[in-house]
Structure 1
Amino acid sequence: MPKLSEYNKKRDFNKTAEPKGTVKKGGKELRFVVQKHAASHLHYDFRLEIDGVLVSWAVPKGPIADTSVKRLAMHVEDHPMDYIDFEGTIPKGEYGGGTVMVWDTGTYLAEGIDNVADSEKVLRKMYKEGNIKIVMNGKKLKGSYHIVQMHGREENSWLLLKGKDEYADKKDFDQTSVLTGRTLEEIGKDKKSDVWESNHDGKTETKNPNKIDLEEVADAVEQLKTDSESKKKTATETETSQTFTAEDVADAKKLDEFPTNWLPQLATLADEVFDNEDWIYETKYDGYRAIIEVNDGDVNLVSRNGISFNDRYKPLVKAFDAITNDVILDGEIVVEDTKGISHFQWLQYYADNPDRGTLKCYVFDILYFNGFDLTSLELVQRKRILEALLPQSDQIIYSGHIKGKGSKALKEVEQKGGEGLIAKKASSKYYINKRSKDWLKIKISKEQEMVIGGFTDPKGSRTAFGSLLLGYYEDGKLIYSGKVGTGFNEESLKDIYEKLTALEQKTSPFSIKPKEPGAHWIKPDLVAQIKYSEWTETNSLRHPVFMGLRTDKDPKDVIKEIAGPLTPEGGNLEAEKTTKKNAVKKADKVKPAKADSDKKPAKETKTKTAEKVIEEKTPAKKAAAKTKSTSKTMKSKAGYDTEKVEVTHPEKIFWPKEGYTKGDVIAYYNEMADYILPYIKDRPESMRRTPDGIVKEGFFQKNVAGMVPDWAQTEKIHSDSTKEDIEYLICNDKETLIYMANLGCIEINPWSSRVGTLDNPDYIIFDLDPNKTTIENLVTTAKKVKEILDSLNIKGYLKTSGGKGLHVFIPIKPKYTYEQSRDFSHIISQAVNAALPDITSLERMPKKREGKVYLDFLQNGKGKTMACAYSLRPREGATASAPLEWDELDDTFDLKNYNIKTLPKRVKEKGDLWEGFFKDALDLEEVLNKLSQ
């Protein structure tokens, strides 16, 4: 309930003119005030009279009249009623120091109540429940407003929203006082204005000159916290901001002058993700690393090799002008499309195309603040300070993090199309201009910086040059690593060619001259960012794709990055400079100490540590020994190895528990190709690659430009979101199917439309996804879908999802849009939900539909994919998406019965249960006409 003890505790009323906190009996009307408060950070204090006090929230961005906007409101201490008309100045250095304006004031009632007495009763209940709905009658704020507590966040985090009524608008409010008509600046300059002084405890404090005085900052953090909308955090489960004081940063070192030569700490490449509560996980951005220096109002953006970015990225220089303190920050400059996906080439050519994408800087660390070196502080402490101080905008964004849950963080980044993670030890210091094992980079797709040592002549219609000749440094020598001829456009070809010819020389810079016909050699001054699939045994990049030039990298620093093994000391990984073969040999030598293996730990932990990850590699080898021998697996290789596809590592374990191998997957698709191909032919493939089997999430690959063999069929499809062409693989034959399986595609994910009619799907999907419910409820839901389809004379084709759910497909003629197919699925799903409201749900949020079957009609969308009929799934048990007969949904039905071993036998007995699927294609318009009758 409202109280003033905290308000009184913070003030010494022998020294301040502020009103003493006493509860006053309410009058004939309920009053409110909104005070604009220019303290260390500008904010608005939103105060409602409840039970004789002003219950208060700090709103960083202020109230709005736009119903589409939400404002963060941080609950602060209650204030006395006498505070309602204060307008004046609180001296700097005192609690809440700054200028205060009465921005708006008036009366209010609880929504739906027309008298004060009943409103007071209802308001007590609303306040207790964290959901206050009121109707305001102020000079600026009028009509319905809601103040709602945010669950799952800090207890004092609320939201302020405008209710829908005749006062809703997108207008901007007048920013002068409703009492005096003055601006904040005019109030601050008025020496006759009220002046209040306060002290936290009434005691005189002797300040330590080596401590940072962060009282203003701490006050701002306490009242403002974090506005999750404006910060656009990069992970869905970031830690909330915490308050801090000068004592928290007592170990910071005071410097005599502003440092101007600090370069960023670098991360070590890791070969896999891990979970550890002592680590935090940030998004790895695809851009330029930058140190941001703000010194006496001057902004300097510095690359990781000391080159200024100011001329190239002037809008960011202007954006960082908002920082009023002297600081050094660490961040990454990117250019993003409308979906938030960064494009390195857009960033590289930003000066030529400033309107292509949005220029941003994600800031993730603070190294210096107003004369103090913060690098000795723990990482999480530095991030708290950064989050409180950083003035955020559409271009400056605080980079959040997930604590402990590396696997979950990587999965979320992958789903968003990101590059990977940076794992950081939470307690680590900042090491200037050093590569540290306290920071680890975990990449989803493999990328490598490469030195350009030459180029070849163009062929065919290509202009400028054919390929770039690449290399890396080892022991001071430039080692040749192959060539790259894809990933260029006309713009980059021309630009790069000019740079190449300016550096041309007669001799090869490589330690061993590559035998490339028509080669031209250059001085090795250029560095390229290359995406690739793997290193070959001949020490070349396989399937390289050019991403862009790196002007922020010294060529001499480019080495071969190989993800090293996890070491037992705290979860770090090593980057090796040797070849992949040597790295593997070295990894095999890393074994837990005998004492550790013989001694059972006192208490098991759920957290995956680095040492545990090493140990987990051993069971896979044991599983291989328990299953069919390598010789047996290799013997079966002859059945699927073709002239077009060279199968590699068929003995690799994909399911450690069952012992199934990569070879088993390839053999399955070889045997099942005739059944699968009808459902994937002429369809773009979104390849979900799991090259390490089910122990890792794997990754999706859509663009195969320059990566697939010449005989493979592909199709370029323009992406409206990225404004670029994506080259998809088309699987029309067994060889391509085996090629995909050899890449680690356990699962086959085709589009719902074919080449030639890509905007028009030829089937509609009903995805029945159980969320902690029973198999009985799943079966009941599927039968209800069939019942409704039967009533419309529509044949529904049933299959298992291969996971926990069921799919019902209906074929349609490819002349309708994805939106129309989705609308139809939605109509049927609504009918199912209306018939089975207790066991089904259309709610998208998983937490709100626990214990129910989710009717996911949104799977019907262009580019969305679903595991096809007979596709294996990277799930425990090697389950598969199996076509079913409807009468198989009985009391004995078990999803696990349909797997890699049972399906080949099943089709021999039953044949293809979906045979004739496309012959039954419906005319959707005729069906919709029936629904409307």
Structure 2
Amino acid sequence: MKKLSEYNRKRDFDKTKEPEGKVKKSGKELHFVVQKHDASRLHYDWRLEINGVLVSWAVPKGPIADTSVKRLAMHVEDHPMDYIDFEGTIPKGQYGGGTVMVWDTGTYLAEGSDDVAESEKMLRKMHKDGNIKVVMHGKKLKGSYHLVRMSGKEDEWLLLKGKDEYADKREFDQHSVLTGRTLEEIENDNKSEVWQSNREEKKSFHGDVDHILDEEPEKSSQSQSKSKSKPTAKKKTKATEKTETLTSTKNSPTFTAEDVAAAKVRKTFPKEWKPQLATLADAIFDSDEWVFENKYDGYRALIQIHKGKVELVSRNSLSFNSKYKELVEAFSIIKDDMILDGEIVVEDEKGLSHFQWLQYFAENPNRGKLKCYVFDILYFNGYDLTSLELLQRKRILEAVLPQTDEIIYSGHIAGEGTKAMKEAEAKGTEGLIAKKITSHYHVNKRSKEWLKIKVTKEQEMVIGGFTEPKGSRSGFGSLLLGYYEGNDLIYTGKVGTGFNEDSLKDMYEKLTALVQKTSPFKVKPREPKVHWIKPELVAQIKYSEWTETNSLRHPVFIALRTDKKPKDVKKEIATPTDKVVPEEKGKKEVKKTKAIEKAEESTITKTSAKAKEKPADETKTGTPKAKTVTKKKSKTGKPGWDTEKVEVTHPEKVFWPKEGYTKGDVINYYDEMAKWILPYIKDRPQSMRRTPNGIDHEGFFQKNVAGSAPDWAQTEKIHSDSTDEDIEYLICNDKETLIYMANLGCIEINPWSSRLGSLDNPDYIIFDLDPNETTMENLVTTAKKVKEILDTLGIKGYLKTSGGKGLHIFIPIKPKYTYEQSRDFSHIISQAVNNALPKITSLERMPKKRIGKVYLDFLQNGKGKTMSCAYSLRPRDGATASTPLEWEELDEKNFTVKNYNIKTLPERVKEKGDLWEDFFDNAVDLKELLDKLG
């Protein structure tokens, strides 16, 4: 790298306020910046954080998104990390004299890595080798980019766009991502000062209003009414305001005196204000009188900034400051007095928000990115803006709000609610907030000028008790739920799904701390073995519908809401949209899609103000209509599907971005492979693992299909001892049901180990060999040892790839023994393998205690536990499949699981047939086996 000493040598820090070069250690993320630099010649400076400095290249023609274009990139001296938010003017006569804009900034990782420490190590080697490959997460630059040193050249490199979903021929916006200014505006704004960091005090607004809002409120009010000499801009027409969309601003945002002319002067700072609330509506609509914003999955907050002090205040007046200190620091760059309205979220690296991550952010700050989406402004420097119309407030907000990694302006779509809802479903937001363009801000009130239209149905509920756990479940069985009518807590049923081991433990600790002897409900529920608690906890519950008995159907626990008061929890009934937004002359027809009330396919992913329209997600269950689906071409080159029963939706949706495989490819695969797969899933309950947005997005399991499976599909109700509830499982006995599951996003097929008629008695035993950072040689050696031991008992072990990194060995058994007995046998054999290979195998459940070893997971043998079946695809890189193998194929030198995938399997079975064809014919008697061992 070119040392910082070269950077320092070229600059006179008495004449330029550029930061002096100092190495800084990397934080939790690796950052980059691209600066547009109008020096002796216009160019772009591309800077990557490596080893505590910004390693830099000058790119004369600027960044590209087109993979066919190459850009010359000249390697220049390293710059200090403090340079990352440098925007301003370097004095003439100084090195690099001219205007600098922060054209784009964000985080990045080395291509092929999702870990910062690993990326740093890879980047050092890449830089030394002259071949840098990174994945950018900027506001403009996204996806793969490569910097390659030209042969025989020291400083001459090439910048290229890698092939991915972000590659296209777009023209980038040429405004600063920090301040929205052009180069010319930055130059004009900085004529009075040489350089000003975005993190220091600055004016986020500019234009005619600067001199007005800097004055005392009383004086400013007089100047507005009397002075005609001050410059103003023409007020936008109603038509312009109606159609204006601020999701992507082409011009630098400004506002004028006329924007605040109607605002009230307020002498005291209104700390007592609470946010306006929206009314639940039942359907989406189109109307030129409304705009549509994303509904965020986080905590609502008012951001109060007064005399340099920042307060993040929840909707019930609690402070978020200690919990989200990073946001307090982020907003502290604002020096004006203001009150903002926004939503605090935590997003993963894909931009998906996770409410539970937000809840426990203080305990685990490294998990996800903390952000605040800001969508309204209520107060600014002595002016009460609540009486202004919505678009006036948003125009002011965009002008004064600094854009940083943590603070994001929330845009909107005007008029086109149906389009906005499709985008919301495709990107996985909670839904939309519809706002009337002419609406004022109603402090601490619920208004019908703001409507919330949800993708999925959710209801806040107060927890009043819990039941004892059953079976293998720990902590508790179900939560007893209710809502308030006046002072009465009304019982609405219980919820026992949506928990994992960690959340069960955490919830149980909270419940036991609130135990009381009496029921808090108006009418005591008739539930056995109930522990009553003080009604102080509020839960967010997802459900399909309200029943006639006032209960939630198919409730699923999402998270606790610490920002909601129990007494504020009421039963939310959706207002008919046509009652709030009546059809009027000149207004577009209300689209009664009833998306909120139908179990249509949708999902929960991230919001973005502006994105290409994508197909709707398939997260909610839905009953497809009968429809003939014609055959289609696919990425894999296989023939399409053909069924009279299943309506296939959005086959073009990409499930594997890297390979380009689509949902249609998955359906094609299962259509072609049905005859090979069905013998291994017939008559077995399906625990559907759904990944409706592809492998880069978090999937989920769905067991209960009550009310959602098509009429022609076979289902079976099975009682769950852990939740004391009946669960209606899907039974896949034919190709149509298999394609129905694939259409729901089931890349992976996960049947029970037992069949209908003998659900308590499995008909095979599983040996799951799970490598934990060990070698292929160790994995193969372990599998062969299992075979060796089984051979001595006269048992044929059936081998397959897991479809992931491991191997599975199955033994068919007669279905007359319990799951406990099958697990005991697997445990005995696993112990024998571990005793023979103690250095490379482990029975330790904690992953950190078995690093470098093959885990012998005998616990996969349990009722309701599932394993990907033979020939099942897996949501993994390469679209791998769980593939039956001949033992002779297990060669540690040449064997690789990636050879068995969505493209190779159909040809493989045509060549080799089903290697497990005699599987169920060779079922062994478990008692006889145990007798041999005994």
TM-score (norm 2): 0.48
